[in-house]
Chains A and B, each alone.
Chain A
Amino acid sequence: MIAAELAERVRTISPDVVVSRDEVTAFVQPEALLGALAALRDDAELSFDALSSLTVVDWPDRVPRFWVAYELYSMTHRHRLRVKVGVPAEDPRVASVTPMFPTANWHEREAWDFFGVVFEGHPDLVRILLPDDWEGFPLRKTEELGGIDTRYQGAFIPPVDRRTT
């Protein structure tokens, strides 16, 4: 199915669909996410039965600020679709899709780890790549750039560029 046909078919489920560079993106409201994903999966023409990736984009100037992107793939028809959900900055919450796609488990943990987006209903939403006692979400655009203090056994040693001798 070519991109235009795919977009037309997806519009029967979720109306807000954009085609850009042969990639189809559907914008969904957070409360409609699980229903839309289930419908996309169950539609015989589309059958998006695999979640190949889940990530978050931070747009500090936009409202809503965080955009969770679900990259879907159809094993049956071999076509792809991106579903995007906007999440407000003040209370970044979205429903977890782990019950539907088990592969989302670690992806959602990583997204929470770096962006602080809470996935409600996730079985074990704890940090996955950063140390357990980490404070903050380093991939947010508002985070400070550059090296951070080495925090180890009570010592705080600043990075090289901020050390004074």
Chain B
Amino acid sequence: MPVERIEGFHSGKTDAEAEAEVKRGILLTTLDKAVNWSRKQSMWPVTFGLACCAIEMMSAGAGDYDLSRWGMELFRASPRQADLMIVAGRVSQKMAPVLRTVYDQMPEPKWVISMGVCASAGGMFTNYAIVQGVDTIVPVDIYVPGCPPKPEMLMYGILRLHEKVRTEGHFK
């Protein structure tokens, strides 16, 4: 018999009292909440900096703004290890198939943040060279406006995404 179960050995409690104590230590929750909580607490962004927005994204990941507060400071170089794509910058027509390939290589579940006005709608580049909104090639969860958005704005977008992840069904 393990030492912990010897009646009255530690605290002088009876067996029934010890059982009640154990029950108080058990956390009951739903699978949805548990899975979503683990997903939101540890997101793995894929490295996809395209233009000046990427500087703000790197800044958000660096010491001053510190994305590691939400467990996501590590940008993966491989899309196969990532579940979040932050499209930071304008997407040229020639980059569009590459972006889609990177998105396709990410395992489910996966989310996309369109960072800045260029990625969201083409921005000032209303011309032949730039994709007019990255939502024409990949599904976008959060749009962050700005040119470029400050790190605080990106963080706000990330927190909104966390909110979305936390409240959705676990089979996304």
Contact = CB atoms under 8 A, between A and B. Distances in A.
A160 B94 contact: no
Contacts of A148: 93, 127-128, 132
B94 A159 contact: no
Q: Which of A143, A151, A155, A160 has the most CB of B within 10 A?
A: A160
Interface residues of A, number: 20
Contacts, number: 53
Given A130-B94, A131-B93, A152 B100 contact: yes
Contacts of A157: 132-133, 136
The majority secondary structure among interface residues of chain B is: loop
Contacts of B93: 130-131, 134, 148, 150-151
Interface in B14-30: none
Interface residues on B, range: 10 to 19
Interface of B: 93-94, 96-97, 100, 121-122, 125-133, 136-137
11 contacts: A131-B94, A134-B93, A145-B126, A147-B122, A147-B125, A148-B128, A150-B136, A155-B136, A157-B132, A160-B121, A160-B122
The 3 tightest CB contacts between A and B, nearest first, are: A159-B132, A150-B136, A147-B132
